[in-house]
């Protein structure tokens, strides 16, 4: 077993109205930032997990996304898996 850090990035699906993103874009505009074409707001979920390998960690994360972490009707997800260094200092 090794330990992995799994980052799940959940974003509103393209084409879906994202009022939060729109509000942020508007605020950036009011601050004088020009050229901001689009702003979308999503979520970053960081899961630390024990797994036999990177492949297993990814497969489990995908299952978690389909079941709970993302709603396929409105959201897309992307998963990044990285192995934690051996002998992690757990103090």
Partner 1 sequence: MKIAVITFPGSNCDHDCYRALKLLDGVTPEFRWHRDTSLGDVAAVILPGGFSYGDYLRAGAIARFSPIMDAVVEFAEAGGPVVGICNGFQVLCEAGLLPGALVRNESLRFQSHPVHIRVETTRTPFTSEYEEGQVLRIPIAHGEGNYHAEPEVLAELEGTDRIVFRYSTADGKLTPEANPNGSAHHIAGIVNEHRNVLGMMPHPERAVEELLGPTDGRGLFQSLRNHLTAGATT
Residues that bind partner 1 (CB under 8 A): 12, 16-20, 22-23, 43, 68-69, 71, 73-74
75-83 β-sheet, strand order = 43-51, 2-12, 75-83
- Sign of the dihedral defined by the CA atoms of residues 8, 9, 13, 17, in that order: positive
Considering beta carbons, is residue 51 or 69 the nearer one to partner 1? 69
Q: Min. distance of Cβ 17 from partner 1 in angstroms?
A: 6
First-residue to last-residue Cα distance in the chain: 20
Shortest reach from residue 88's CB to partner 1, in Å: 27
Q: CB nearer to partner 1: give 1 or 68.
A: 68
């Amino acid at each position: 077993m090794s330990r992995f850090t799994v980052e799940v990035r959940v974003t509103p699906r393209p084409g879906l109205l994202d009022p939060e993103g729109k509000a942020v874009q508007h605020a950036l505009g009011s601050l004088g930032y020009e050229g901001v074409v689009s702003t979308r707001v999503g979520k970053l979920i960081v899961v630390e997990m024990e797994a036999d390998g990177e492949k297993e960690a990814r497969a489990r994360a995908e299952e978690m996304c389909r079941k709970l972490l993302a709603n396929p009707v409105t959201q897309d997800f992307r998963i990044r898996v990285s192995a934690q260094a051996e002998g992690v200092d757990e103090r």
